[in-house]
Each structure stands twice: as C-alpha cells, then as structure tokens.
Chains A and B, each alone.
Chain A
Amino acid sequence: MAHHNPDAPSHLKHYFHDVNQQYETSKFAMWAFILTEVLTFAGLFVAYIVYRSWYPDMFVDAHKLLDVNKGLMNTIVLITSSLTMALAIWAIQKNNKKLSVFMLLATFIFALVFLGIKFLEYSHKFEVGQLPGEFYSYMGPDAVHLNNPHIFFSIYFIMTGLHGLHVAIGMGLIAWLVYSTQKGNLTSEYYTPMEMIGIFWHLVDLIWIYLFPLFYLIG
C-alpha cells in the first residue's frame, strides 16, 4: 500500500508515521537482538566457568597448546575491522559513498583474514588431534598428564566455532551492504541497515575480546 503522504521517502514503510519512528524502532529491536546474542554466548561462558573451576590445572596447561600469536593477530584484525566498520558509517553520514564502500570492503577483507587465520589454527588442531570430546587423540609430551583435556577443546571449538559462524554471517551482511551502498540505496538520509549491521559487527568483535584472554592468555 502506498503511503498517504506523497512526500514520504521511498524507504519509509507505510505502517510507520515518519522516518524517525522507523529508525528508532529498528535501533531498539537491534539492541534487543544484541541482548539475545549475549545470552546465547552466556550459556557457553557458564559452561566455561564450570569446567575451568572443575579442572583449573588442565585449563592452564591445555591453553598452552593454543597459538597465542595467531590469536593476538586475530584480535588486532578484528578490532581494526570494527574501526573500518565505524568509519564506513561515518563516511555514509557525510554522504561519501566511495569512502564508505572502501571501508566496507576493508571490513570484509579483515573478516576474511580472521577466518583464514582461524582456519590455519583449526587445521593444525585437526592434524594433531586436539579435538573436542571423543575425537581428541593428541598424546604429545606436553599433554599426557592432562586430566580430561578434550573438555577444554570441546568448549574451545564450540565457542570459537559459534563466534566464527557469526563472523561468516557478518561477512554476508557486509557484502550486501557493499552492494546496496554502491547501488546508492544507502545515503546520509537513510543508512539504517549499515548502522544495524555495524552494531552486530561490534558485538562480534566484543565477544572475541572476551574469548581471546579466556582461551589464549590464562595461567
């Protein structure tokens, strides 16, 4: 149904009064969604806390099997991608389409680098058998004394895996943003999707900021 007001911009849905109401609604719902995301990870953080308190020594020793340098690199990559995401929004606010698209592409590439490094880490763990649960088979000299190390790797793979899934979904969303910004659908008048995906992307970054010390920097 067409909007009653002929002057209404095309992105204004007919069931909203005005652009502001539409924007506020999206933003509100996005923050509510972020709350949902936080609670999803909260369950896993609880599992982490429970098993770290059950097996404190195992956690400290098992964490040494992780590659801190790769983890640190990924932290830097992801924080930088959060910056480029914010800059993309700043650029579109200034109606600088070219810069915005550039920054979105940069964010996309950083996300790709993140997943690439994660892939290297995972494939090494697959090779040596540092795997979750029953699939754990690593018997190196630094691990023989560990008490139930598979639990550490179960939690590591589930948490970083779920986080990685979020990165991948974020990449899809950012790719769509590149397309719509390039097409001119997003301007300083209307850039709500970019801001919402930006909020999501910062959350993905933030979760990693907790995961990194909890897995790579303990003991």
Chain B
Amino acid sequence: MIKNTKQNYLNHPRGIMSWLLTVDHKRIGLMYLVSGILFFFMGGLLALVMRFELAAPGNDIISNEIYNNAYTLHGAIMIFLFIIPAIPGALGNILLPLMVGAKDVAFPRLNLASFYIYSFGALFALYTIVNGGVDTGWTFYTPYSTQSSSNVVPMTLGIFIIGFSSILTGLNFIATVHKMRIPGLTWYKLPLFVWALYGTSLVQITATPVLAITMVLLMLERFLGIGIFDPALGGDPVLYQHFFWFYSHPAVYIMILPAFGIISEIIPVHSRKKIWGYKFIAYSTLSIAFIGFLVWGHHMFTSGQSVFSQIVFSFITYFVGIPTGVKIFSWILTMYKGQVSFTPPMLYALAFLFLFTIGGLTGIFLGAVALDIHLHDTYFVVAHFHYVMQGGTIVAFLGGLHHWWPKSFGVMYNQTIANIAALGVFIGFNGTFFPQFLLGLRGMPRRYATYDEQFVELHSYSTFWSGILGISIFIAVMNLFWSFMKKNKVDPGSNPWGGMTLEWTHTSSPPHPHNFEEEPVLQHGPYDYDKVIVQKTYKK
C-alpha cells in the first residue's frame, strides 16, 4: 500500500525559496514547530531566571523591575507565541490534512499567510524584549497597563497581530474538517485529534476577535485616553478584565484541547486497544469548548463582582469538570486490559494523566468562591495553572512530538534517552510545582521577587527541581533534533507504534509531497484494534 518512494515533502522541491513560499501544510507545520520550540526555550530560560532568583529571599540575581519583566515576558511568550499558535500550528498543520485524507488544508495560501502574520506579530514581541521589556504581567490589567512606561503597546500590538493568525488558522482547520474529508470518512470515524482541533478552532474563531478588540481599546486608552477603562475619565477598569477573560478563559481551552486530542491518539495506539467512549470524548470536546465561554468571571472573584455573579460563575465552572472527567475516565478505561507498552509517547501520556488530573482538581478548589478569595493571587494559582498548562499541554505536546516524530520526519530518536528524559520531566515537574501548592496555601503571593524567611525551604526545593525539569526538557528536545540531524532514518513504510489512522496506514514516512500517492480508501475506523490487526513495523 505504501510505496517505497525516495521523494517526500522534506526533499522535494529543494531550495530556500521552496520553503519560504511553500503552501504545503507539512512544511508550514515544520516552520511553526521550529519557531514554537525557539520561543519555548526563550520562555523557559526566563522561568529559570525567576526560579534562581527565588532560590533565596532578597534580590540576589535580578532587581524587582527585571523580575517584573521576566514574569510578564515568560507568560506572554509561552502563551501567545508558543502554546496558542505553535501547537495547532505545528502538530495540527502537519497532521490534520493527513488524518482526513486530504491533499492539503482547505486554503493553503491562507495557511502560509497565517504563518507570516504570526512571525510578524512575533517581531513586535521580540522588539519589546530588546527595547527594555514590559512589566504589567501577561494579563495587561488596567489601570496599570495604561500608565506603565514599559513597552505595553508593542507587546499588545504583537498579540493583536498574532490573533489574526490564530483566527485564520482556525477558519482554515474548520473548513478542512467540514469539507476536505475523503468520502466515507464520516464524523464518527475521524481520529479524536481531529475533533480536538475542530473544537480548538471553534474557540479560536469566536474568542480571538474579542481579544483583538480589547487590545485595540487598551492601545487607544494609552494613545487617546478614551476613558473606557479609566475610572478617572468615567470608565471602568473591571470592564477590561471582563473583556480580557472573555477571550483568555476560552483561550485556556485553545491551549488544552489539542493536548486532549494528542492523548486520545497516543493511548489507544500504545495500548493496542479500541478507544473507550469515542463519542463521549468527541462530544466532551465540544462541550468544553462551549462551557469555556461561560466561566470567565471565575478569574475575577476578588475584582468587585456581585455575589450573585460569583455564585453563577462558580456554579458553571464546576460544569467544566464533567466533560473533563469523562475524558480522563475514558482514557483510563482504554488502557484497561490493553497491551500497554512503555514507549516515550506513552510515558508522556501517563505523565499527562497524573499531572493534568492534579491540575484539573485544583481548578475546582479555585472555582469555589470562598476558597478562591483565600488562594487568589498566591502560588496555589501558579501551581494549578502550570499543572494544567505545562503538566497538561506541554507534556502532551512532547508526547505528540515523540509519537509522530518518525511519521513526520522519517527518523527515529534514541528511545532510551527519550524515556529517561520523560521520567525527568515528570519528576522535575512535580518537584518544581507541587511545593508551590503548599506555598500558596501558606499565603505566598505570586509575582514577587522576594519573600518571607518562612518560605525558604519550599522555594529552594522548587528551584532545585526546576533545574532538573529544564535539563530534562532540553535533553528530550535535543534527542529529537539529534535524530533529525543524524538522519537516523526509518523505513518509509514503517509504522513503529502500529497506528491505524490514515497518516500511519496510507502514506510514507516522511509523507509524500502531496500527502498520498493516490486518494486513500478508508478500510477501518481510527481505533479498530478489536477488528483489524495492524503490525508494528519499524525497519532502519
């Protein structure tokens, strides 16, 4: 079925211009991947600088002002330059058309435009860094953000521009899922990663415009003093928070839904078992996307809200737990009595299950008004957020990279090193962030460059393990790129994990420039391990 062809999207056509002007979704995905990883390292270094500053109380390494810049840039880079654009942009771009059997996304040129809009927006963010940073926190709360003399405008302009990229990618993916599927590939036969990207894209096209307009209003507030967010001019700073979180809460689901999709692919393949509760997982994706729009007020329990709205937002927040729980249990039941193999992708998926569950459950703590008023703006929030975003999204992203690496690039990494790195990520992550729950419970506020003596032990512990975490991630990523540089090739027809989706069964590794030699004909569902035997094939 898969022809042994020498021609693939990486080597055909050749030349730098064939990359810069490519409309091939796989090449665009690779460009997103490279830029995403660069920003990931940049944001990660900032995190380590902060952690080492916090190893002991007092200003040991950096000043308060630089610390303020560090956490703002860490947040803004990780969220707006890495997680939101790069995960759907990289894995989504490479895989979505392959998974639906299409030759490309619905609008390939628009796809390239998205990448350049993202790059253009990123330039503003980089300008912010070289021009002295920005110190408002990634949330740009008014009134401080309208008064701060740091680079609020370049940063928010960058985010505004990147928003367009996000919207256009979302539009493209939605149209692709609706209209580009091969005949016979009905909605319920789609891989769950496609459902996840679909849910993500829906949120991208509906929430991002509100962020765009909020950023415009913030910039106008600075330029013209329009008064909308400024109490001195008759406006309301809390309205800014409503606008911001109306986007940024759904944006949390832009960040986590693709991760859910990755886990839904890794677990059945590496357990060689049909996914449990396909429709539950598919619909829980859509319900999370929907409920996500109704809970933004839970970020604002201490911002001056009526008790009635607090209760309503708190109540709806709990509802997010239902579809999320449905997913977790479905994944666990998928593994039950399966042939679980401890490959690097599976290790990341297992790590995800532990870490994301802790992140999700502590989210319920924070959704409870009374508890949130105690925990608001403490390290408890920091820990919760990182358990979801890093323990959830980034761990899943690393798992997805390891899962699809041989498919996307036709090379295999050293699996032993990958396993050790995955273990290091898991231990280092818990060591870094679990103490932060305790710090938060004891009242350590977030966004401070120094702290009281009583917190020394937990802070130094967190710093020590953050080093292990950083080194582990570095090793994991280098191990991947090393295999690429060393050209540690796999056979183009290989299917090392025994995947059943179209990208494994119907195209070579790396895929053909036009994805498939001929249009694939669907022979089985994405997880029919109970009906069809797919051999694991892996030849050098």
Contacts and interface: CB of A to CB of B under 8 A. Distances in A.
Contacts of A135: 224-225
A36 B233 contact: no
A37 B210 CA distance: 10
A33 B168 CA distance: 9
Given A14-B103, A158-B220, A47 B228 contact: yes
A1 interface: yes
Interface string B148-179: 00000000000000000001000110110011
A39 to B, nearest CB: 4
Given A28-B179, A29-B107, A36-B209, A154 B228 contact: yes
B103 A15 contact: yes
A50 B236 contact: yes
A55 B228 CA distance: 12
A133 B233 contact: yes
B180 A25 contact: yes
B372 interface: no
A6 interface: no
Given A36-B205, A50-B239, A147 B174 contact: no
Interface in B311-352: none
Interface string B93-115: 00000000011101110000000
B277 interface: no
A29 B175 contact: yes
B523 to A, nearest CB: 20
Nearest to B234: A148
A43 B214 CA distance: 8
Interface string A177-192: 0000000000000000
Interface string B189-210: 0000000000000000111111
B210 A1 contact: no
B67 to A, nearest CB: 32
A194 interface: no
B217 interface: yes
A15 B104 contact: yes
Nearest to B235: A151
B234 A28 contact: no
B179 A148 contact: no
B226 interface: yes
Contacts of B179: 21, 24-25, 28
B82 to A, nearest CB: 23
A55 B227 CA distance: 13
Interface in A36-80: 36-37, 39-40, 42-44, 46-47, 50-51, 54-55
A13 B228 CA distance: 47
A154 B227 contact: yes
A33 B110 CA distance: 13
A44 B227 contact: no
B259 interface: no
B514 interface: yes
Contacts of B103: 14-15
A150 interface: yes
Q: How large is the interface on A (under 10, 10 to 19, 20 to 34, 35 or more residues)?
A: 35 or more
Given A28-B178, A36-B205, A158-B220, A44 B213 contact: yes
B33 interface: no
Interface string B489-502: 00000000000000
B514 A1 contact: yes
A29 B110 CA distance: 12
Interface string A1-43: 1000000000000110000010011001100110111011011
A134 interface: yes
A155 interface: yes
Given A133-B225, A148-B227, A158-B217, A28 B175 contact: yes
Contacts of A151: 226-228, 233-235
A155 B221 CA distance: 12
B231 to A, nearest CB: 11
B143 to A, nearest CB: 14
B243 interface: yes
B234 to A, nearest CB: 3
B171 A32 contact: yes
Contacts of A129: none
Given A1-B514, A24-B179, A154-B224, A40 B212 contact: yes
B233 A148 contact: yes
B226 A158 contact: yes
Contacts of B210: 39-40, 42-43
Contacts of B234: 54-55, 147-148, 150-151
A16 B278 CA distance: 29
A193 interface: no
B108 A15 contact: yes
Contact of B209 (A15, A21, A39, A147): A39
Contacts of A24: 179
Interface in B281-304: none
Contact of A35 (B106, B205, B214, B246): B205
> Among A36, A40, A54, A132, which residue has the most Cβ atoms of chain B within 10 A?
A36
B208 to A, nearest CB: 8
A40 B224 contact: no
A132 B221 CA distance: 10
B227 A40 contact: no
> Among A28, A39, A55, which residue has the most Cβ atoms of chain B within 10 A?
A39
Nearest to B105: A15
Interface string A108-138: 0000000000000000000000001111000
14 contacts: A14-B103, A21-B179, A25-B175, A25-B180, A28-B178, A32-B175, A39-B207, A40-B210, A43-B210, A43-B217, A50-B236, A54-B234, A132-B227, A151-B234
Given A36-B209, A40-B209, A132-B226, 8 more contacts: A24-B179, A28-B175, A35-B206, A36-B171, A36-B206, A39-B210, A51-B228, A133-B225
**Minimum-distance CB pairs A-B, first 6:** A134-B225, A148-B234, A154-B226, A40-B209, A133-B226, A15-B103
